[in-house]
Amino acid sequence: MQEGQIAPAASKMGLWGTVMVIYFIVAGGAFGVEGLISGSAPGMGLILVLITPFIWSIPTVLMVVELSTAMPVEGGYYIWVKRALGQFWGFVQGWIVWLYGLVIAASYTALFTDYFSSFLKIAFGIGMLDENKLLRWAVALILIGILSYLNIRGAKSVGDSSKVFAAMVFIPFIVMIVLAAIRYAAHPFVFWLPLTPPHTGMMGAFGLGLFIVMYNYLGWDGISTVLEEIENPLKVIPKAMLIAVPLVIVGYVLPVIAGLTAGVDYTKWGDTVFFPELASAIGGRWLGIWVSLGGMFCAMGLFNAMILSNSRIPFVFAADKYLPSRYVERHPRYGTPYRAIWLSAVIYAALAVGPFKTLAVTTVLLYGISLLMQFIALIVLRVKVPEMPRPFRIPGGLPGVLITALFPTAIIVLAVRGTLVDQGSSFLKLAGLLLLSAPLAYFLLSRFFKKGQPDVLSHTSSALDTDL
């Protein structure tokens, strides 16, 4: 293996591995939308699940594909923003994404223990994980260790395992959907009513569920941090996104419709592990157990893909001298940044004991800000370097780019306004503190580690071909 390589050719992801990694970075199954139905009612919940991709996900996908094919380098959005806006804003972009990525990844370990607990209760009547926090943490640590090692083996290992995890998620849901369709054909009823919760208007119900559905449709840019660990990213990324977008949408819509036909009171959908109960109501206890197992594989796939994406941020930070050089070191056999992966794993382990429900809104807001920075980079690069080769280009020239950026911007503003009206401004305080940590970290890391050294990574030189 060549000294500078992070991913030998044999360990790069192909098309379907990339599709499944994108799927798990963004969704991983219908798990997590239960609160949308209980909060916004069946009708508005379905409307949100159907329309949000067109004003939130697809514009983001178009931006990601253009920038990924224009600058297919390790670090993705960090490099894009740095190229367009300079070192400081590139660092802020990377820091914000790493920050919320750590929280999201750690929350997936908690989701795994939730579904493992649900499986034990439904299958064996054992509820010890609900009562023993130390045992829950031990389960989370085992998961973190196994999947971190899998990541050290390379992107192809992550892609291949994601295919297996996806099959384990899809199959029980497909069975649930088929059985629900048979039941519904025999006894049809209007499952999409009420349209809104009692005493709540259309806009109120829309605002209540918007952050939840945005959270479940975010992450399309996550694959960009490992672009050089994908076989022929110029061709694979556009194809993978074309497959992944409808897969994610269908993966939410059909299970939700199936669950609504189960005849279970929609107000009880508040728990994030409610799909096993819905499956039990549709097909019996055996199907509930199967869907619980699917939830465990969903959480494993989510965490597995998030390690891959999120661990490359400390790697590229170290390459640009913001972190100690040891985090650039690559595994002698697999070529992966194993020290950066283990650093992330230690932080996940520390965070795995924390509560995450209160952080969902803050996470979406931080993601929204990082996304806006990427759209600004897209616009600036169109203006500053119009001659840059762009194998994929958002159509319509600069007006087309501006219109594309307008939709996510509008939905972020609408979601923040709705949350302010419904919940007050407390979430803004936490988000503000986390945002302020970015310039503080830039100052401290620049002073103690970078010390005026020039950046190594750019849009033309990457962590892959630089001998650091």
Extents of the domains making up the chain: 9-450
How far apart CA 449 and CA 24 sit, in angstroms, is 34
First to last CA, the chain: 16
**Alpha carbon 154 to its chain's center:** 19
Could you tell me the CA-to-CA distances from 396 to 385, 410, 411 in Å, in that order?
17, 20, 22
CB atoms within 10 A of CB 48: 24
Q: Which of 95, 108, 192, 185 is nearest to 143 (CA)?
A: 108
Q: Which amino acid is residue 253, in one-letter code?
A: V
In the beta sheet, which residues pair with residue 230? 13
Tell me: the pLDDT tens digits for 349-402?
988 866 555 566 778 888 999 999 999 999 999 999 999 999 999 999 999 999
Give one DSSP letter per residue of 29-81, joined into a string. SSTT-HHHHHHHHHHHHHHHHHHHIIIIIHHHHHHHHHHHHHS--TTTHHHHH
The alpha carbons of the chain give a radius of gyration, in whole angstroms, of 22
pLDDT at 83: 95
In the beta sheet, which residues pair with residue 13? 230
Tell me: the pLDDT tens digits for 450-462?
988 888 765 544 4
How many residues are there in the chain? 468
CB atoms within 10 A of CB 441: 18
SS3 456: coil
Element (H, E) at 145: helix 133-152
Weakly modelled stretches of the chain, pLDDT under 70: 1-10, 271-272, 353-360, 418-419, 421-424, 427, 457-468
pLDDT at 424: 66
Give the per-residue SS3 of 164-233. HHHHHHHHHHHHHHHHHHHHHHHCCCCCCCCCCCCCCCHHHHHHHHHHHHHHHCCCHHHHHHHHHHECCH
Tokens of 369: 């800000």
How far apart CA 246 and CA 248 sit, in angstroms, is 5
pLDDT at 129: 75
How far apart CA 457 and CA 228 sit, in angstroms, is 13
Residue 148 near residue 307 (C-beta atoms within 8 A) = yes
pLDDT at 19: 98
Q: Which of 310, 298, 316, 305 is nearest to 342 (CA)?
A: 310
In the beta sheet, which residues pair with residue 237? none
How far apart CA 121 and CA 116 sit, in angstroms, is 9
How far apart CA 221 and CA 405 sit, in angstroms, is 14
Tell me: cis bond preceding 194? Omega within 30 of 0 counts: yes
Residue 192 near residue 40 (C-beta atoms within 8 A) = no
CB atoms within 10 A of CB 350: 11
How far apart CA 227 and CA 134 sit, in angstroms, is 38
Tokens of 428: 């803004």
**Alpha carbon 129 to its chain's center:** 26
pLDDT at 338: 95
Residue 418 near residue 207 (C-beta atoms within 8 A) = yes
pLDDT at 461: 47
Tokens of 163: 């295919």
Superfamily of domain 9-450: Amino acid/polyamine transporter I (1.20.1740.10)
Residue 91 near residue 370 (C-beta atoms within 8 A) = no
How far apart CA 29 and CA 216 sit, in angstroms, is 9
pLDDT at 4: 45
- pTM reported for the whole predicted model: 0.92
Buried b / exposed e along 51-67 (16+ C-beta atoms within 10 A) = ebbeebbbbbbbbbbbb
Residues 6+ away with beta carbon under 8 Å from 159: 13, 14, 16, 17, 18, 20, 21
Buried b / exposed e along 197-223 (16+ C-beta atoms within 10 A) = beebeeebbbbbbbbbbbbbbbbbbbb
Tokens of 437: 């940590």
- DSSP class of residue 13 equals B
Give one DSSP letter per residue of 395-409, joined into a string. SSHHHHHHHHHHHHH
How far apart CA 13 and CA 35 sit, in angstroms, is 34
